Structure formats: structure tokens, C-alpha cells
Amino acid sequence: MADKLIIVESPAKANTIKKFLGGSTKVLASMGHIRDLPKSKLGVDIEHNFEPEYINIRGKGDLIKSLKKEAKNAKKVYLATDPDREGEAIAWHLAHILDIPEDSVCRVTFNEITKETVQSSIKNPRKIDKNLTDAQQARRVLDRIVGYKISPILWKKVKRGLSAGRVQSVAVKLIVDRENEIEEFKPEEYWSIYANLLEEKSKQSFKAKFYGINGKKLEIHSKEEVDSILKGIENSKFIVDDVKKSQKKRNPSPPFTTSTMQQEASRKLGFTLKKTMSIAQGLYEGVKVEGKGTVGLITYMRTDSTRISEEARSMAKEHIVNKYGESFYEN
């Protein structure tokens, strides 16, 4: 009999966490959601406060039986699904299936999967956050109502196979509006003049850009204007009137949020959102590192926060000081 049973979402995460805990602790995976709205009908009682009608997901019967058996044999069950509203909802559904009281202190979360964080989180469990589960439930119900009610209209009026959604329908509207703006845009001709100048004494060359006349900025909109300006300054001698020197401080970019990570992965690597999140999920849950086993390499990837944990700050400071010296570390 295990003293503690910890249920996470994926086997990879379970394997990483397992090595941080004692032998009397068992770690199992729920394989994602275990209950959801039925696919064959709306599954939302609109007449009674939009009450969702959840059912066990088809194909997860054996898994549910196994989790129930292990929970019954454990002295304490902890629900350690991901630290977001989907993870909170999975924990809530698990508590329902495993007959864990709603006010039970059974919920633990890991913003990063390191030994210190995992062990500290297990020592400081909390109750399931009903605000988060309600938020997830509202999102799920809205998805279902919009999708099931509007999609059939699209099939009748536009084309079979199209679908509507709480997010995608709004996104399509934004794309249409933007495309209309692009089509209605009237391009305006614009010219710039550059000159490669040579300093007589040092023989150093540099590039200068035409700004305007008599200190006033001048916008150029035709080749005729360019030719007129060039004719006016032909064979002129250019004088450097003022040189300004300054020091600039550039701060490092903040840690990624979900959206900035997706944007950079798309811009620099050409990754799709799905590929980016799949790779990030694997890095969070743990990858095999030679000599260290399975190690979680990033913090939780679904976040809007740029906060850095004290443990990470300490490790970064140690690395910077050891490699570059104390003067390169600024707290």
C-alpha cells in the first residue's frame, strides 16, 4: 500500500516526478481529461442554469477503474495536474470520480518540475480552486453552445463541414476586417535620398540620409522632387555640424509568456503553434539528460507571467558569477 498517490496528466510528467519522491509514493497519469460533455448531443441544460451533463470519456473505463483502486489503497491522494484552469478542472473531475470531498486539501501544483519545487508543493497542498474550475466550465459550455448552435446554420447557408466557435468565429471576423482595410488602402509614393560621404582627413566614409531644408523635414513623393533636390545639392560640400555621443543600456528580454514563445518560435523557427506547444510540454514534463536522468527544463508554458523563481535566480547568478565574474551580475 502506497502512503501517497499522486495523479498527474501525462506518463512523462509522472516519470520525472517519481524520482524526486520516496518509494512509498506512487505517481500515476490520468492521460488528460477523464470526463467531458457528450459528443452526441448538446450536453448543456439551458433551461436549468446551463448545467453541464458530464460523462466519462469513452475508452477510459479501465484507467478510471485502476485509479479508483489505487486511490482506495492509498493513505492520501494528491491531484497534481497542470497549474492552469484546464488542470484545475481535471483535478475537480478526478476528485468527483474518486469520491474525494470538494473541501479536501488534495491539490498540488508545480510551476516547474524540479526536486525542490516538487517536494515543497507536496508539503503545501491546498483545496481545489472552484473559481478556476468554474472559469474552465464556463469556457467549455460556451464552446459547446456556440459550436452546436451556429455550425448547423453555416452548413445550411454557406457550406457543409464548416464550423463556428467561441474564438474562431471572432478571429475570422478580425481577419476579414483586416483584409478589407488592406484592400481599401491607397498606396502613396514615397522616396528617400542617401549619400555616401567621405571625411577628408581620416578618409572614413559614412552614410547620410536627406532630412530636409533649413532644418525642416521634407517628405518626398515623386522622382521629379528627387531630381530637383539632387540638382540643388550637386557639387555641394557637406559639413558635420554636430556629433552626439551617448551610452545606451539594453535590458535582456523578459522570460517568455505563452504568446511571446509562440511568436518567436514561428518567426525564427517556422514552427506551428501545435508544434511549439508540443515541444514545450515535453521540456516542461522532462527529457532524458545524460547523467541526470529525466529532467524538467522549463517552467510551465501556459502563462502570462514573467516572474522568475528564487531558485532560478540563484542558479543564474551562480552561473554568471562563475563564468564572467561578479561585476557582470546585476540584481
List active site positions: 300
- Separation of alpha carbons 218 and 212, rounded Å: 4
User: What DSSP state is assigned to residue 83?
Assistant: S
- In sign, the C-alpha dihedral spanning 181, 187, 188, 191 is positive
* C-alpha separations of 330 from 70, 148, 251, 317 in Å: 49, 55, 11, 9
The CB density around residue 35, as the number of other CB atoms within 10 Å, is 18
Spatial CB neighbours of 283, under 8 Å, sequence gap ≥ 6: 296, 297, 298, 301
Spatial CB neighbours of 215, under 8 Å, sequence gap ≥ 6: none
Cell 477523464 found at: 34
The CB density around residue 132, as the number of other CB atoms within 10 Å, is 19
- Helix, strand, coil share of the chain (percent; to 5): 45, 15, 40
Beta bridge partners of 220: 191
Give the CA angle between residues 16, 114, 127 to the nearest 5°: 90
Q: What are phi and psi of 8, to 5 degrees?
A: -115, -170
- Separation of alpha carbons 26 and 21, rounded Å: 9
- Give the pairing type, strands 25-29 and 4-8: parallel
Contact 144, 42 (CB under 8 A): yes
Single-letter amino acid code for the residue at 331 = N
- Separation of alpha carbons 16 and 85, rounded Å: 22
